[in-house]
Amino acid sequence: EVELVESGGGLVQPGGSLRLSCAASGFTFYNYWMTWVRQAPGKGLQWVANINHNAIEQYYVDPVKGRFTISRDDAKNSVYLQMNSLRVEDTAVYYCVRLRFGSTTNYFDYWGQGTLVTVSS
Amino acid sequence: DIQMTQSPSSLSASVGDRVTITCRASQTISRYLNWYQQKPGKALKSLIYGGSNLQSGVPSRFSGSGSGTDFTLTISSLEPEDFATYYCQQSYSGPWTFGQGTRVEIK
């Protein structure tokens, strides 16, 4: 059974840093792209970042470019999101998501339960 | 960025009703359209990918259709466990974007 478990969320002041972790199990981790998606309180979903299966390619949504870094450790079946220079508008639940690539479509097939990041003074 | 617009934003329905949710893209996305279900306290769930492909394990009362800019999620006969929020998402071009969500409530 595929399982994604996030950790590392919490309260941080504006300008601070936080590192989120996601432990994956139940599948061959190094074969898959991984993603972080966030959801601000009471709001919709926003894709944040992708990392490909060999960590050579990373992609980010514009508001986090230069501040967030996605990485992975295939030996630990884990993906990370290093978040620097945090802003109040980064407050959200952050979901770790497995990305499925097909011949004619790409989609998020498994989601974690999420970890809450609150940026406030 | 491609904007995704869902309608309605919310709806009230009864068990057994047929429910239709629409998603419109601001430009053509071929069939790169996916649907997800969100329930409080639970992990989001993939329902439909590629416009009309049912994710493994998802009940057949869920179906998706459409291509280009206009898409539909249909629940043929609403069950109690289907009361949730539904999101569409395009994976045609980056940044991948979601609709604002449709909340399905009990009438």
**A64 token code pair:** 């986090």
Cβ atoms of A68 and A60 within 8 Å: the answer is yes
pLDDT digits (tens, 9 = 90+) for B53-74: 999 999 999 999 999 999 999 9
Q: For B52, which residue in chain A has the nearest alpha carbon?
A: A105
Q: Contact A108/B34, CB-based, under 8 Å? A: yes
Spans in chain B with pLDDT lower than 50: none
Q: Residue A105: is its pLDDT beyond 90? A: no
Residues of A in contact with B64 (CB under 8 A): none
Q: What is the pLDDT of residues A71-95, one digit of tens each?
A: 999 999 999 999 999 999 999 999 9
Judged on CB neighbours under 10 Å (0-12, 13-18, 19+), B65 is middle
Residues of B in contact with A58 (CB under 8 A): none
What is the torsional sign of CA B79, B80, B81, B86?
positive
Using alpha carbons, list the distances in angstroms from residue A66 to A49, A61, A73, A91, A109.
12, 10, 21, 17, 28
